[in-house]
Amino acid sequence: MTPPPQTARLALRQMDLRDLDDMAELLGDPRVMRHYPRPKDRAEARGWIEWNQRLYHEHGHGLWLLTLRADGAFVGDCGLTPQTVEGQVDVELGYHVRAELWGNGYATEAAAACRDWARDVLGLARLIAIIDPHNHASQRVARKVGLVEQRRVIREGTQQLIYAMNPHDAAP
């Protein structure tokens, strides 16, 4: 299994149940989950970790845990998950950063590395992001790594924007 990408400031690694305190705090924060139906409780955060562990096993990728290389501090998650949109399965680039650390460029830095990993390791010709139309910070990150708004869909009862790109269009 190819290890996840690393960046100048961030270490990415597989998450496991030892990360439950950090992930429960991240996914339980109403600021981070503002564009989700509701914050996740601890059992749901555990489910999130177990879902990603299944993805690592079945696909070799998932959302990876982000920490600061400088001091090991927990930052959030970022990575690649299969998602079905209107019957088509694509790989989504996703990211969640602790609210205290927003605005430092961490999501963009991690997302660019995951985009390159999707191109170089998976050879993907299409990468998507599914984003709430009101989630302007997420759309900004998506655009900064090269994703382009493609269309609007109804997914699980809510409107979502589909951003997409060919990762090969991002120069190595």
Ligand X SMILES: CC(C)(COP(=O)(O)OP(=O)(O)OC[C@H]1O[C@@H](n2cnc3c(N)ncnc32)[C@H](O)[C@@H]1OP(=O)(O)O)[C@@H](O)C(=O)NCCC(=O)NCCS
Residue 1 or 148 having the CB closest to ligand X: 148
Largest interatomic CA distance in the chain: 43
Q: Which amino acid is at 134?
A: H
Give the residues lining the site for ligand X (CB under 6 A).
32, 35, 95-97, 102-108, 131, 135-138, 140-141
Q: Residue 32 Cβ, how far from ligand X at the closest point, in Å?
A: 4
Please provide the DSSP assignment of 66-123 as one string.
EEETTT--EEEEEEEEEEEETTEEEEEEEEEE-GGGTTSSHHHHHHHHHHHHHHHTS-
The Cα 104–Cα 28 span in angstroms is 21
What residue has token string 């990993």?
A: 117
Q: Residue 10 Cβ, how far from ligand X at the closest point, in Å?
A: 10
Q: Which amino acid is at 93?
A: L
Residue 76 or 167 having the CB closest to ligand X: 76
Residue 96 or 119 having the CB closest to ligand X: 96
Angle between helices 106-120 and 136-144 (to 10 degrees): 50
Q: Residue 167 Cβ, how far from ligand X at the closest point, in Å?
A: 18
What three-state secondary structure class fits 138? helix
Residue 143 or 168 having the CB closest to ligand X: 143
Residue 20 or 33 having the CB closest to ligand X: 33
Q: Residue 65 Cβ, how far from ligand X at the closest point, in Å?
A: 14
Q: Residue 120 Cβ, how far from ligand X at the closest point, in Å?
A: 21
